[in-house]
Amino acid sequence: MQVAIDGPASAGKSTVAKKLAQDLNYMYLDTGAMYRGVTLEFLKDDVDLTNDELISQKLKNINLTFETIESEQHLLINGEDKSQEIRSIAVTNSVSDVASIKQVRSFLVAEQRRIAGKHDVVMDGRDIGTTVLPNAEVKVFLLASVHERAQRRLLDYQQSGETISLNQIEEDIKNRDYKDQHRAISPLVKAKDAIELDTTSLAIDEVVEELKKIIEKVKKS
């Protein structure tokens, strides 16, 4: 079975998708981490995002793999664990621009489909139900208020030792939402057959339980 979870930045997609996959014994695929991984590599080499030839050449030299370490999924780039580095403010502020590049999306969508074809999978992102897995049996679109999402992101930054104000995070999220919703390739939209779930007032476990109910209903139909 394929479970596609979409939604805006910090709506809780990755957190609940990981727990859901663990509870169901499905594979979890963090597509956001894949885009962050490419963004990290582009920033490291100061890749010109308008240079198609340079972008294509860089992508040929990026190998993304996942490894489970102490029950946590880690992203390895060319064999090196970059799970912490991809969560930096610099990567967060640049990932939308990188994700809007046609070559990048083609490269990662192909990888995501290849992996999903081999497993029962829970996959989260912004275009999973519309582009990556349009035939997924279960599609959910998670929402949360900008303020709630900013508070969640603030906790992530505090845990990684980075300092930024809540107001700045809210502005960054609004800008990210606009970019994601208005990009030319695979914009953030709710799939027509997706079920909408607002997570603003829900704890992680509550969201997971709601998702399980949706999946069970689909299985019985």
Q: Is 9 annotated as a binding residue?
A: yes
Phi, psi of 106 (to 5 degrees): -60, -45
Instruction: State mean pLDDT over 107-136.
Output: 92
**Residue 12 pLDDT class (50, 70, 90 cuts):** confident
Q: Comparing 26 with 119, which gets the higher pLDDT? A: 26
**pLDDT at res. 68:** 82
**Alpha carbons 86 and 142: distance in angstroms, whole number:** 22
Supply the pLDDT for residue 162.
86
Q: What pLDDT, on the 0 to 100 scale, is given for residue 198?
A: 95
Look-up: residue for tokens 């946590």? Answer: 72
Is 15 one of the annotated binding-site residues? yes
Q: How confident is the model at residue 186 (pLDDT cuts 50, 70, 90)?
A: confident
Superfamily of domain 2-214: P-loop containing nucleotide triphosphate hydrolases (3.40.50.300)
13 is in an annotated binding site: yes
The pLDDT score that the predictor gives to residue 184 is 85
- Establish whether 90 is an annotated binding residue: no
Phi-psi domain of 32 (left: phi exceeds 0; alpha: psi -120 through 50; beta: other): alpha
| Model pLDDT, residue 199 | 93
Catalogue the E-assigned strands of the chain.
Answer: 2-6, 27-30, 64-69, 72-77, 80-81, 121-125, 138-143, 195-198
- Predicted TM-score of the model (pTM): 0.80
In this predicted structure, the answer to whether residue 216 has a pLDDT above a threshold of 80 is yes
Residue 136 annotated as lining a ligand binding site: no
> Is a pLDDT exceeding 80 seen at residue 71?
no
pLDDT beyond 90 at 161: no
Question: What value does the mean pLDDT of the chain take?
Answer: 93
- Domain segments of the chain as ranges: 2-214
Check the annotation: does 12 bind a ligand.
yes
Establish whether 8 is an annotated binding residue. Answer: yes
Tell me: is residue 10 an annotated ligand-binding position.
Answer: yes
What pLDDT score does 7 carry? Answer: 94
Helix, strand or coil, per DSSP, at residue 90: helix
